[in-house]
Structure 1
Amino acid sequence: MLRGLDISDMLIIDRLELGFQPGLNVLTGETGAGKSILLDSLGFVLGWRGRADLVRQGAAQGEVTAWFDLPADHPAHAVLEEAGLPAGNELILRRINSADGRKTAWVNDRRCSGEVLRALSETLVELHGQHDDRGLLNPRGHRAILDDFAGNGPKRDKVRQSWSALAAARKAAAVAEAEREAIRAEEEFLRHAVAELDKLDPQEGEEAALDTKRRLMQGAEKIRSDVVNAYEMMGQEGAERHLSDALRWLDGAAARAEGALEAPMAALNRAMIELDEAMSGVADAIDAMSFNPIELEEAEERLFAIRALARKHNVSPDDLAGFAGTLRTKLDALDAGEAAQAALEAAVHDAERAYDAAAEALTAARTKAASKLDKAVSAELAPLKMERAVFATQITEEVAGPDGRDAVSFTVATNPGAPAGPLGKIASGGELSRFLLALKVCLTQGQSGLTLIFDEIDRGVGGATADAVGRRLKSLAADGQVLVVTHSPQVAALGGHHWRVAKGVAKGMTTSTVTPLSPPERVDEVARMLSGDTITDAARAAAEALLAG
């Protein structure tokens, strides 16, 4: 509920501090006095998109502050929580518009964006007027309005969930089919490549090992003969024989040498041991250098085959095994694709059936609610002197989507036998006002915490009809808060709280003021609305009669 509005330097408003009350609040004044500026200012602090030139001429910036009562169960708390903003039993919105057009906003003294303000405004205020396209006159919102009236939230959520599941199932099936088609296009290549790779069966690290082996075998041909010659020089016909002969001669002379040959003989024995080890190592090397020429040819052929296949598929030789696995996986997917695709198509079919069931249930609920809403609006039209008018909620089938397959439109026929048409095109100004009011009375039953603003919704009506409009507004405000900008004395007389908007000129500056009216002042204001600038005794008496009810 809106409790106060503080406006500084906005258009022709210098400074205004307004306090609003529960019930029916009426604002009256001459045309051009500034009533619309109040709504522009309120819309500005609520983040609504409106006129840009709001700052009063000569001022550096304009500022608007609005504060609301916020019960614990008010839906604005969810918006505040999602935005990470502090909450309490009072909500304070403040927004500044600088002369250069920059806008800055705060919620409970925390900076926020215009989007957050607009999200909050949807839970705080509804504005209605003859030319309002934000709410009841916009056909794009009629389906949501009907769902809110019917309490279709859970059914609508189920349809949305079913639609999401259906969209996901269709996407999965389409992606899988596209992948299968792409694989099928290269099936011949895949089968040939896998067969070629399987036949060669390259192993990780094999290319490097073959290259090393090949180089060793190629080098062995050149050095093996030298190594064999060296081995022969160390053997029985070479160093080994000479060392053995030397030890045998020294051993024969050792007994007569008085120990002088012991050290040389020990050294020769060690030399014989080292020679034996050297000969053993050389023999092993000779064995390692022994190879079959066919083995070298086979190693070269396999090495060249691995390298050629790697170049063909543009991968490294060590990656050939993994590449073969990747191609094999694609083939397996193609071979198993028929069964997998059938399962995906079955999932799509199941999702379609689930969506159809949810959408049909929502359509049935909407149809039932439409009949209920039509009867409720018709009942409200009679007190508004439109008992012969017909209000009808039309439901037609449209392309399926996340909100079902129903298009909803509010239509009216102002006279029996007249063709029905869109609410905003068929009704005249006065008729439209009453249609909107009747519809709003039906839609707000059971709601609380919302401030309803009606901008000259009584335009085009007068006398008993204006009185009927005022009484419906008063009834609508009984459990909440309604603000009405009006030129109708009948409506103004029914207000629980009355403000007069006036425009004046001081020191060459035009300003607008808003004054709460006392009971005697209300009499004068209602009399002015009845008679014009000159308030007669008859007008005052008529005003007193209206105010007395």
Structure 2
Amino acid sequence: MLKELYIENLAVIARAAIPFDTKLNVFTGETGAGKSILIHGINAVLGQRVTKDLVRTGCDRAVITALFTDLSDATRQVLDDLGISYEEDGITLTREILADGGSVARINQRTATVSALREIGSTLITIHGQHDNQILLEPERHLHILDAFGGDTSRLADYQDSFRELQSLARRLGTLRKAEQNQEQRMQYLRTLVRDVGALELASGEDAELEAEYQVLLHGKQIAQSMQNALALLNEPEAGLEQLQTAEEQLQDGAVLYPAMGTLAERMTAVRIETEDIASELSDLLDGLDLDGARFAQVSARRDAIAALKRRYQCDAEELLQKYEAAVQELQSYSSAAEEIRGLTEQKSALLQVVTEKAKALSNYRATLAKQFVQRVGQELAFLDMPQVQLAVQFTPGKLTMHGMETAEFLISANAGEPPKPIAKIASGGELSRMMLALKAVVGDRDEIPTMIFDEIDTGVSGRAAQKIGIKLRQIGSMRQVLCVTHLSQIAVMAEHHLLIEKRTVQNRTETSVTVLDFAGRVREIARIMGGENPSRLMLETAEAELRSAMQKP
């Protein structure tokens, strides 16, 4: 909650250090004394928009620093998310407004962004002014108020867990389906490659073997003629194997008489044996040479088919086989993705049914809750002298969202017999303030934001209604810190902490001061509110009586 606010050179406030109580704090003072400046200062440290016009004339900057203590879980979570350290469960937020435009934000004396101030500030304070009751004017906030009234958020939490799971499934499906669309062209290419290469049943090394056979078949007659001619020469009696044998015998005979010829005789023997082997193999090759034209046509056709695929896919035969294997594996992976899509689609369908049933159960709970809520708020409005105002909750079915399957909007009927209409269309500023007060009285003990500011909630009311507003503010103050700017004594007397805002002239310049009033000071200020400047003794006695009476009320 807000422990202290320090202001320097903000409009007519030269310097002020303002302490706050944990319960109901009221600001009073004459019209134009500068009460609205305090709200501007608080807005500044909450990260709201500021202008250089707020800087006191003749100064280069205005400085506003707020000390917050007893941080809520929500505030600590935001600080942790932002990586901001805090000690002793407290933080300071500072905003400097520069006279030449722009501003500087600090958290615990360290420079920060204005957006960080705003994010943290949203967990610290809510401001409800005559023209700033945004919660009531924004229907998207109404469902949250209703759920907060119920207190038991287990149904909503259970539904949201299932809804997040459904969202996760939907995102995964969306990613896979998008990838599937992008991969269709790729898959078509792979299918064609697998079909083309698979149809050939190409074997590793076949291309080289086929090319060799093709060349043999292409030049078969020339090869056969060469074989026949060589074989004829080898088998010819005068120049063939018989001559080699005769030479071998002569060398062997000579070696008997001249041993040096023995080596030559051995070599000649080897030549003869090798030549006989050549002749034998040559004969076998010639016998096995197949010059069938049908086989040549078959080999030519297959060779051309392989060559065509090599040109199409711009690679050799071995690379073609590698591409084929890779394409088969890639297509299998796509098949797995398709199987995953089918599986996830079935899961999504089943989970959608579960989420829908949970949303219906949540809707039924909210319908029951709305009746209790309307009754409770109606009682509070009647207490605040607005018995003619009737609240209704209108549910509008819609698609599944994180908050359920419907939206909710608060409608009011300002007069008996009139149909309820949206609050923004018929409620006045004073009515909005009192309606917000009624809502806070109903859900205040469950509100996560520790500090509430009501700016001129007394607009358009007086007498008994004002007294009841004061009682209700004190009641809310027992659950949450409340700051209230008021012009009514009936509200001022209910405060546990009373601050007076005064305008005065110091060295020919207007300055606004903020003073914490003691009991005597409160009596004088309440008497002034009741009867104007220079209150009579009777008015002072009346003010004291009213103050003492209020202090005795629980």
Shared fold (TM-score, shorter chain, > 0.5): yes
What SS does structure 2 have at the residue aligned with 1:132? coil
Shift of 1:283: 8.1
Aligned equivalents of 2:333 and 2:307: distance in 1?
Answer: 24
Structure 2 counterparts to residues 207-286 of structure 1, below 5 A: 207=207, 210-211=210-211, 214=214, 244-257=245-258, 261-262=259-260, 264-267=261-264, 269-270=266-267, 273=270
Question: Corresponding residue for 1:84?
Answer: 83
Shift of 1:52: 6.8
Identity of aligned residues (%): 30
Cα RMSD of the aligned pairs, angstroms, is 4.6
Which stretch has the larger CA shift, 214-223 or 430-439? 214-223
Question: Corresponding residue for 1:118?
Answer: 118
Question: Corresponding residue for 1:29?
Answer: 29
Aligned residues of 2:44 and 2:50 also touching (Cα < 8 A): yes
Q: 1:317 aligns with which of 312, 317, 320?
A: 320
Shift of 1:356: 2.5
Question: Corresponding residue for 2:463?
Answer: 463
Indicate whether 1:135 and 2:135 are aligned. yes
Letter in 1 for 2:308: A
CA 1:248–1:157: 2 relative to 1, 3 Å? same
Which stretch has the larger CA shift, 37-46 or 397-406? 397-406
Shift of 1:472: 0.9
Aligned equivalents of 2:32 and 2:211: distance in 1?
Answer: 97
Q: Give a deviation string over 1:358-395, Cα, whole Å, max 9, x none.
A: 11111111112111112211222233222343222233
Q: Give a deviation string over 1:211-260, Cα, whole Å, max 9, x none.
A: 56656776887778668867877888768766654443343334444xxx
Letter in 2 for 1:353: Q
Q: Give a deviation string over 1:152-206, Cα, whole Å, max 9, x none.
A: 5332233334445556667888999999999999999999997766543345665
Shift of 1:444: 0.8
CA 1:228–1:496: 2 relative to 1, 3 Å? farther
Aligned residues of 1:29 and 1:500 also touching (Cα < 8 A): yes
Q: Gaps (5+ residues) in structure 1?
A: none
Shift of 1:117: 3.0
Shift of 1:116: 3.6
CA 1:252–1:114: 2 relative to 1, 3 Å? same
Question: Corresponding residue for 1:65?
Answer: 65
What SS does structure 1 have at the residue aligned with 2:482? strand
Indicate whether 1:145 and 2:148 are aligned. no
Aligned residues of 1:191 and 1:331 also touching (Cα < 8 A): no
Aligned equivalents of 1:286 and 1:501: distance in 2?
Answer: 127
Aligned residues of 1:489 and 1:530 also touching (Cα < 8 A): yes
Shift of 1:454: 0.7
Shift of 1:323: 7.9
Aligned equivalents of 2:476 and 2:362: distance in 1?
Answer: 29
What SS does structure 1 have at the residue aligned with 2:137? coil
Aligned equivalents of 2:34 and 2:278: distance in 1?
Answer: 113
CA 1:394–1:273: 2 relative to 1, 3 Å? same
Shift of 1:413: 2.4
CA 1:241–1:100: 2 relative to 1, 3 Å? farther
Aligned residues of 1:493 and 1:526 also touching (Cα < 8 A): yes
Q: Give a deviation string over 1:329-367, Cα, whole Å, max 9, x none.
A: 699899x99x996x7776555334322311111111111
CA 1:328–1:128: 2 relative to 1, 3 Å? closer
Question: Corresponding residue for 2:156?
Answer: 156
Aligned residues of 2:139 and 2:408 also touching (Cα < 8 A): yes
What SS does structure 1 have at the residue aligned with 2:370? helix
Question: Corresponding residue for 2:482?
Answer: 482
Aligned equivalents of 1:292 and 1:55: distance in 2?
Answer: 108
Which stretch has the larger CA shift, 88-97 or 159-168? 159-168
Q: Give a deviation string over 1:50-102, Cα, whole Å, max 9, x none.
A: 5575444554444332222225x633222222333324422232344445554
Structure 2 counterparts to residues 275-314 of structure 1, below 5 A: 292-293=290-291, 294=293, 295-309=295-309
Which stretch has the larger CA shift, 496-505 or 215-224? 215-224
Aligned equivalents of 1:498 and 1:282: distance in 2?
Answer: 129
Shift of 1:457: 1.0
Q: Give a deviation string over 1:373-425, Cα, whole Å, max 9, x none.
A: 12211222233222343222233333443322222122222332233222333
Question: Corresponding residue for 1:3?
Answer: 3
What SS does structure 2 have at the residue aligned with 1:406? strand
Letter in 1 for 2:77: A
Which stretch has the larger CA shift, 284-293 or 248-257? 284-293
Structure 2 counterparts to residues 405-484 of structure 1, below 5 A: 405-447=405-447, 450-484=450-484
Letter in 2 for 1:83: L
Aligned equivalents of 1:513 and 1:274: distance in 2?
Answer: 129
CA 1:309–1:66: 2 relative to 1, 3 Å? same
Shift of 1:108: 3.7
Letter in 1 for 2:68: F
Aligned residues of 2:216 and 2:223 also touching (Cα < 8 A): no
Aligned equivalents of 2:352 and 2:518: distance in 1?
Answer: 65
Aligned equivalents of 2:448 and 2:402: distance in 1?
Answer: 29
Which stretch has the larger CA shift, 110-119 or 278-287? 278-287
Aligned residues of 1:307 and 1:317 also touching (Cα < 8 A): no
Shift of 1:456: 0.8
Q: Give a deviation string over 1:429-453, Cα, whole Å, max 9, x none.
A: 3333222211111011255770111
Aligned equivalents of 1:477 and 1:190: distance in 2?
Answer: 73
Question: Corresponding residue for 1:502?
Answer: 502
Aligned equivalents of 2:282 and 2:488: distance in 1?
Answer: 120
Aligned equivalents of 1:215 and 1:100: distance in 2?
Answer: 92
Shift of 1:480: 3.0
Aligned residues of 2:92 and 2:107 also touching (Cα < 8 A): yes
Letter in 2 for 1:81: D
Aligned equivalents of 1:39 and 1:450: distance in 2?
Answer: 17
CA 1:360–1:292: 2 relative to 1, 3 Å? same
Letter in 2 for 1:393: V
Letter in 1 for 2:252: D
Question: Corresponding residue for 1:382?
Answer: 382
Aligned residues of 2:499 and 2:515 also touching (Cα < 8 A): yes
Aligned residues of 1:224 and 1:286 also touching (Cα < 8 A): no
What SS does structure 1 have at the residue aligned with 2:395? strand
What SS does structure 1 have at the residue aligned with 2:26? strand
Aligned residues of 1:24 and 1:474 also touching (Cα < 8 A): yes
CA 1:32–1:280: 2 relative to 1, 3 Å? farther
Report the TM-score when normalising by structure 1. Answer: 0.80
What SS does structure 1 have at the residue aligned with 2:123? helix
Aligned equivalents of 2:98 and 2:461: distance in 1?
Answer: 40
Letter in 2 for 1:253: G
Q: Gaps (5+ residues) in structure 2?
A: 550-554
